Amino acid sequence: MPQKRPLRNPFYFFMLEKIPELRRQGLQVKGLKDAAPLCSSAWTSLTALEKEKFAQMADQWKAEKSNKSLSEPTKKQLQNPIISVTAKGMKNPPASWSSDEGRS
């Protein structure tokens, strides 16, 4: 089973910024899982204005991801041309495009 990717929420971007600082302090931080409990109290003490920077980073990432997913077909879509065409916006492809046509 593939590993679940962490959410790209404002706290995610805050942790990314804090990890180098935590390591400089001598803490053993291998990744986000180790950083989360160490960053949580600092995150709650931030003001809404300070958190806004990280919210904007999350919004930008989400916008880039949604644009990418709309413009680039997935590996599975490339393997099946019917899915690829319909993923680009055709709701009802012509019946003549059926992958079963012409097969015995």
pLDDT tens digit sequence for 17-71: 999 999 999 999 999 999 999 999 999 999 999 999 999 999 999 888 887 765 5
Residue pair 72/78 in contact by the 8 Å Cβ criterion: no
Rounded to whole angstroms, the Cα distance separating 65 from 56 reads 14
Domain holding 93, by residue range, is 73-104
Backbone angles phi, psi at 60, to 5 degrees: -65, -45
Q: Cα–Cα distances in Å, from 4 out to 1, 7, 75, 97? A: 9, 9, 19, 35
**In this predicted structure, what is the pLDDT of residue 80?**
61
Cβ(13)–Cβ(59) under 8 Å? no
Q: What predicted TM-score, i.e. pTM, was given to this entire model?
A: 0.60
Question: Does residue 56 share a domain with residue 80?
Answer: no
65/92 same-domain check: no
Distance CA 84, CA 30 (A): 39
Same domain, residue pair 62 and 85: no
Burial class (CB within 10 angstroms; exposed 0-12, middle 13-18, buried 19+) of 54: buried
46 and 87 assigned to the same domain: no
